[in-house]
Chains A and B, each alone.
Chain A
């Protein structure tokens, strides 16, 4: 659905904001684009949104070249900029009506579409309110509503949750989950990781214009930590025996005790983690709990950008 090939952007002041980015996303992917401020996220997203011309390299959305046929691309993308803006003195529905009209949606279809997006963004009750009366979180959702009026297949969201309070963040997250369920392909950028942790299936970490890692969340975890982390809890007395036993297993690189749990660095086949458990149980070790530790984006982020971010 989205294909970036060696995308590069040099600004007129000789600053290279994006240095040869490549990326491939399938339909329905939710891609978390993570990087510190000034890493080049906005620049990349703007190039995809046909708002900036890449210095070199190519980008395709649904097989359409963004520089060759920007008009076609514009019809299938919804872009939400980081500095969202709304006008004063205009009502919520008028605001959406204006953008729907700008997208050349026929007049008789507009009321239905406006009701739909208001429903989706949970703003139905604010239909006749003035935009300036909305809270910041509502404005953000209204901004998202406006990017949805033409039913885009691809959403490019630049820091959609920045500057919001926790409650508004959760509301945005829920909205994004709904969009995910609708099968939209989404690129969402952020410099804060927990924001993206839950609903992305792919992430990319960009830093100083270069994609350091990108791909499946679990895969990246394996790349970075060299494997998966298993969480074990055994009966106190069996702790020593368990550690010794684990060290003998070929699929385990290391095991260490954190609090009273054992963290196991597993480097074997991802589908065969249960073999570790059966081996331990077979050796008579009383296992109380055995879990695959959830991929922790924050860990990845800190590991990858160590020494560069802070």
Chain B
């Protein structure tokens, strides 16, 4: 019989017994209940919101507002808390000094990353399951169907999985846990920025009658402002994606993030393996083809550009995204113990964050430019240079990283000069 993953068993023992976990779950449930209570108290007679006599309409409104509040909080929890669960998976081990032992024990990168991931996922799912009684409150007021609640919960788990994946990836990219947590948020933000820029119909994840007030609606509204109303048209016209498509999308992204993290588990001071580079490249390509390409392509017919020209815009952006993916795969892992002040982490965080934000920004600006055709030559003049500049900057980031690193560690340099070079004293 196959032995169970030792990392998962350890995670299970530590996390499930840990006092911290218990307090964390308690705090979470208290917060959730408090929020539900607050949302409900607004509708109580005398609160001024509803009429004194509860009607079917107020029950409907209460149920909606409860649902909205609870789902928003859970989503917020998934996005903000879940990355923390896995962001330490590699860095914590390094910080505690157990990392080298794990390498020596012959535990594979997959076993380790997947064990930590599964352990964290267990905690997250447990949290969602424990929240369900609170969520069940909405049924007292009707108007929200169990299927809707289930769909929303599934979506929350998917977001959690993505967040955990981002945490795992960040943990293999950064040197310290705090840096990895920030990095995980950055990766997640870049991902959402990408979705947002591509106007991926996240709102469609929610049942049609609730779509207008889902938390995502607020997420999308800045785009509406940018698109001066036209985006709303696009959004409404967008085919409503079934929840499962969105769940699969989020989870697939997480799987790719985790597999890249797994491949990047450093054993020697080398670079990411060819497999992880290929995977990240595919990831970039896939996101591109799936999310960014179609909306731009759909818009292209509105431009006074020939369709081939619009495709010419698409290809460099796609290539740029693939470069980002490959760059992530190529980042060297950190086997050597952190030399203080080496600037390694800073440049890496800088480089990676900049590349992610730049590419997302580039896509946003390109879509905006396409949205506001100020004349064919205007977009022709700006879109191509913008794309070129962002890929150039991505390359520059890699280079600066090298330059800053080669300039060396001021502390080590200090030690070197402090050591006496005179060794005539030696017999």
Interface residues of A, Cβ cutoff 8 Å to B? 11-15, 38, 49-53, 70-71, 74-75, 77, 79, 81, 83-87, 89-90, 94, 98-99, 101-104, 106-107, 146-147, 150, 207-208, 212, 224, 303-308
Specify which chain B residues have a CB less than 8 angstroms from the CB of A308 in the assembled complex.
420, 423, 425-426
Nearest chain A residue, comparing its CB with the CB of B94: A85
Interface stretch of the complex, out of B97-105, B208-216, B368-376:
B97-105
The smallest C-beta distance from B344 to any residue of chain A, in angstroms, reads: 9
Asked if B419 CB lies within 8 Å of chain A CBs, one says yes
- Interface pair A49/B14, CB less than 8 Å apart: no
Docked pose: A81 CA to B95 CA in angstroms: 13
Instruction: State A86–B95 Cα separation when bound (angstroms).
Output: 10
| Other 12 A-B pairs with CB < 8 A, given A53-B269, A224-B427 | A53-B268, A71-B106, A77-B104, A87-B14, A87-B96, A89-B17, A101-B3, A102-B6, A103-B106, A306-B426, A306-B427, A308-B425
Distance of A90 Cα from B17 Cα, bound (Å): 9
A52, B104: Cβ atoms closer than 8 Å: no
Interface size, B (range): 35 or more
Q: Identify the interface centre among A12, A86, A303, A305: most chain B CB within 10 Å of its CB.
A: A12
With known contacts A12-B336, A104-B106, A208-B419, A94–B10 Cβ distance under 8 A: yes
Q: Are A98 and B416 in contact (CB under 8 A)?
A: no
Most buried by B among A11, A79, A150: A11
| Known contacts A14-B408, A89-B17, A101-B6: A146-B101 contact under CB 8 Å | yes
Please give me the residue from chain A that is nearest to B421 by CB atom.
A208
Residues of B with Cβ closer than 8 Å to A?
Answer: 3, 6-7, 9-10, 13-14, 17-20, 95-98, 100-107, 267-269, 335-336, 339, 342, 405-406, 408-409, 412-413, 415-416, 419-420, 422-423, 425-427
Q: Which residue of A lies closest to B99 (CB)?
A: A85
B residues less than 8 Å from A79 (CB atoms):
100-101, 104
- Asked whether B3 lies within 8 Å of A13 as measured between CB atoms, the reply is no
CB distance from A98 to the nearest CB of B (A): 5
In the complex, residue of chain B having the shortest beta-carbon distance to the beta carbon of A83:
B97
Q: Which residues of A contact B336 (CB under 8 A)?
A: 11-12, 52
Which of B7, B14, B103 touches A89 (beta carbons < 8 Å)? B14
Q: Say whether A15 contacts B104, CB under 8 Å.
A: no
Complex-state Cα separation, A94 to B11, whole angstroms: 11
CB neighbours (8 Å) of B100 from chain A are: 49, 51, 79, 81
Q: How far is the CB of B2 from chain A (nearest CB, A)?
A: 11
Q: How far is the CA of A45 from the CA of B378 in the complex (A)?
A: 63
Q: List 25 A-B contacts (CB under 8 A).
A: A38-B419, A49-B100, A51-B103, A52-B336, A53-B269, A71-B106, A85-B95, A85-B96, A85-B97, A85-B98, A90-B10, A94-B13, A99-B105, A101-B3, A101-B9, A102-B6, A102-B102, A103-B106, A104-B3, A146-B101, A147-B101, A208-B419, A304-B427, A306-B425, A306-B427
Given contacts A11-B336, A308-B420, contact A74 B408 (CB under 8 A): no
Contacts of A38 in B (CB 8 A): 415, 419
